Amino acid sequence: MNTATTHYPAAPTSEGIETRTLCVLVDNEPGVLARVIGLFSGRGYNIDSLTVSETEHQKHLSRITIVTRGTPMVLEQIKNQLDRLVPVHRVIDLTIANPAIQRELAMVKVRGTGDQRMEALRLADAFRARVIDATTESFVFEITGASDKIESFITLMLPVGLVEVSRTGVVAITRGPEGM
């Protein structure tokens, strides 16, 4: 007897999982985000982060930045599947194209008094986070940076009274003079 497999393709186990940041340029029309998200859920792809906003108002073009994970074969599928959606103009793999700059913005609310409060401020200063709201017992910090920097900041805020976090998700752009 041969090794048992099936008619259905087995999950590729030998290939490693990679993380990619994709930039998807789409017509800003009703339902376009549903199409993109539906593609991911329908085909079982992962979304780690997703941001979307209209970036070219005159042409009604929106830019969707998606951070996704998968084997190289799955990642190629994701790009091709996105590319064939009718309202999708371009799909660019920012991880491959040219090492891209990736940033996130987070707003972090902490609550505390006395030393805790001072410690929160000191840490915020070290991370170059700005105070955008303050009461006698709380701060809201605004921090911008790569996702891992934001992660470490949030971790540090835990013991000094972290209440709530709101994050934008990743936006990205290529380095150098060329546009996409």
Partner 1 sequence: MTEMTGAEMVIAALADQGVAHIFGYPGGAVLPIYDALFQQDKVQHILVRHEQGAVHAAEGYARSTGKVGTVLVTSGPGATNAVTGLTDALCDSIPLVVITGQVPTHLIGNDAFQECDTVGITRPCTKYNYLVKSVDDLPRVLHEAFHIASSGRPGPVVVDIPKDVQFAKGVYFKPKEFQHKGYRPKLDGDPAKIREAVELMAAAKRPLFYTGGGIINSGPAASEHLRELVKLTGFPITSTLMGLGAFPAADPQWLGMLGMHGTWEANWAMHDCDLMICIGARFDDRITGRLDAFSPGSKKIHVDIDPSSINKNVKVDLPIIGDCAHVLADMLRLWRENGAKPDKKALETWWAQIGKWRAKNSLAYRNSNEIIKPQYAIQRLYELTKDRDTYITTEVGQHQMWAAQFYQFQEGNRWMTSGGLGTMGYGLPASVGVQLAHPNSLVIDIAGEASVQMTMQEMSTAAQYDLPIKIFILNNQYMGMVRQWQELLHGGRYSHSYSEALPDFVKLADAYHAHGIRCSHPGELDDKIREMIDVKKPVIFDCVVDPTENCFPMIPSGRAHNEMLLGDAATRVEDAVTEEGKMLV
Residues found near partner 1 in the complex (CB under 8 A): 1-2, 4-10, 26-27, 30-31, 34-35, 38, 42, 73, 76-77, 80-81, 83-84, 86-89
Please identify, using beta-carbon distances, which residue of 89 and 175 lies nearer to partner 1: 89
Task: Tell me the closest approach of the beta carbon of residue 175 to partner 1, in angstroms.
Answer: 26
- Which residue's entry shows tokens 């929160």? 120
Please identify, using beta-carbon distances, which residue of 82 and 160 lies nearer to partner 1: 82
- What is d(CA 141, CA 154) in angstroms, rounded to the nearest whole number? 10
- What is d(CA 132, CA 143) in angstroms, rounded to the nearest whole number? 10
- What is d(CA 4, CA 13) in angstroms, rounded to the nearest whole number? 15
- What is d(CA 100, CA 98) in angstroms, rounded to the nearest whole number? 6
Q: Which two tokens stand for residue 76?
A: 């190629």
* Total residues found in the chain within this entry: 180
Task: Tell me the closest approach of the beta carbon of residue 100 to partner 1, in angstroms.
Answer: 22
Strands (E), 1-137: 18-27, 49-56, 61-70, 88-93, 100-111, 130-135
Task: Tell me the closest approach of the beta carbon of residue 136 to partner 1, in angstroms.
Answer: 44
Task: Tell me the closest approach of the beta carbon of residue 81 to partner 1, in angstroms.
Answer: 5
Task: Tell me the closest approach of the beta carbon of residue 61 to partner 1, in angstroms.
Answer: 9
Please identify, using beta-carbon distances, which residue of 18 and 151 lies nearer to partner 1: 18
Please identify, using beta-carbon distances, which residue of 2 and 136 lies nearer to partner 1: 2
Q: Report how many helices (DSSP H) and strands (DSSP E) the chain contains, helices first.
A: 5, 9
Please identify, using beta-carbon distances, which residue of 13 and 135 lies nearer to partner 1: 13
